């Protein structure tokens, strides 16, 4: 596609429920990143994919968070047993990974609200 696409745009869920957030990167981009942005804060790194593998998961805040990527394309971020502190915008980015300093292209994010 023309850009990074994320769905849903907004998600409201009840505490304790599981949620899945989807990211469609730019076609051909091998690197994919997930970030979390709490209200009024900067972006916190969650996880990075190179192809379908995740060499850096260091930002996942707890074992309730997991992510996968298939076909070197779509990625899904899953949050189990959601808590109110999980409320945030979840942003996905991709890059062509041609070398150091490669530009990241971001989607518009999913606004997650946990009631």
Partner 1 sequence: AQTVTQSQPEMSVQEAETVTLSCTYDTSESNYYLFWYKQPPSRQMILVIRQEAYKQQNATENRFSVNFQKAAKSFSLKISDSQLGDTAMYFCAFMKHEPASKLTFGTGTRLQVTL
Q: State the residues that interact with partner 1 by CB under 8 A.
A: 30-31, 33, 40-45, 48, 50, 56, 89, 91, 93, 95, 97, 99-104, 106-109, 111
**Distance set, CA 66 to CA 4, 45, 47, 59, 80 (Å):** 20, 13, 9, 11, 8
**Contact (CB, 8 A) for 25 and 75:** yes
Q: Which C-beta is closer to partner 1: that of 14 or that of 53?
A: 53
Q: How far apart are the C-alpha atoms of 7 and 68, rounded to whole Å?
A: 15
- Least separation in angstroms between residue 1's CB and partner 1 is 14
Q: Which C-beta is closer to partner 1: that of 16 or that of 55?
A: 55
- Least separation in angstroms between residue 2's CB and partner 1 is 12
């Amino acid at each position: 596609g023309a850009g990074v696409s994320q769905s849903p745009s907004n998600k409201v869920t009840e505490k304790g429920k599981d949620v899945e957030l989807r990211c469609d990167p730019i076609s051909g981009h091998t690197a994919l990143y997930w970030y979390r942005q709490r209200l009024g804060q900067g972006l916190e790194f969650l996880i990075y994919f190179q192809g379908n593998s995740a060499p850096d998961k260091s930002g996942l805040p707890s074992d309730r968070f997991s992510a996968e990527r298939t076909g070197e394309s779509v990625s899904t971020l899953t949050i189990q047993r959601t808590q109110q502190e999980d409320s945030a915008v979840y942003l996905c980015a991709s890059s062509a990974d041609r070398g150091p300093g490669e530009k990241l292209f971001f989607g518009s994010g999913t606004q997650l609200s946990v009631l």
